[in-house]
């Protein structure tokens, strides 16, 4: 099992690179020292929940999105994931209404 500090560090680096930010920019946006960002990305420091919250806010993502380590969601922003969730909800509603209509049609044929 991989070290949690290394996993968090990789995630920070992934999100920072996605934004094309330097470590200095992330440090500024999250109000942290650049040496701390470097240590986090290298897995040398354990980030507190408060620090992760500040970093997630800098990236304009939720804590849930920060910790979303699902392979299918890597490299995707929260707007893409929200769109996918809306599409899933629409598909679910269509299935439910289709079942309801089929049931009503079946009962009216009797």
Residue extents of the structural domains in the chain: 1-74, 77-110
Q: What pLDDT score was predicted for residue 109?
A: 63
What does the pLDDT average to over 59-80?
A: 72
Cα Rg of the chain, angstroms:
21
Q: Residue 99's pLDDT band (boundaries 50, 70, 90)?
A: confident
Please write the tens of the pLDDT for every residue from 13-25.
999 999 999 999 9
Q: What are phi and psi of 21, to 5 degrees?
A: -95, 150
Q: Which CATH number fits domain 1-74: 1.10.260.40, 1.10.10.10, 2.60.120.10, 2.40.50.100?
A: 1.10.260.40
More confident position, 105 or 5: 5
Flag whether pLDDT at 92 surpasses 80: no
């Amino acid at each position: 099992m991989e070290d949690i500090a290394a996993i968090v560090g990789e995630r920070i680096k992934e999100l920072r690179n996605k934004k094309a930010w330097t470590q200095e920019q992330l440090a500024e946006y999250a109000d942290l020292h650049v040496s701390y960002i470097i240590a986090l990305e290298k897995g040398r420091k354990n980030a507190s929940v408060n620090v992760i919250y500040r970093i997630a806010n800098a990236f304009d993502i939720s804590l849930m999105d920060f910790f979303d380590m699902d392979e299918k969601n890597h490299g995707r922003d929260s707007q893409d994931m929200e769109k996918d969730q809306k599409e899933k909800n629409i598909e679910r509603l269509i299935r439910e209404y289709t079942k309801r209509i089929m049931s009503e049609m079946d009962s009216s044929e009797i």
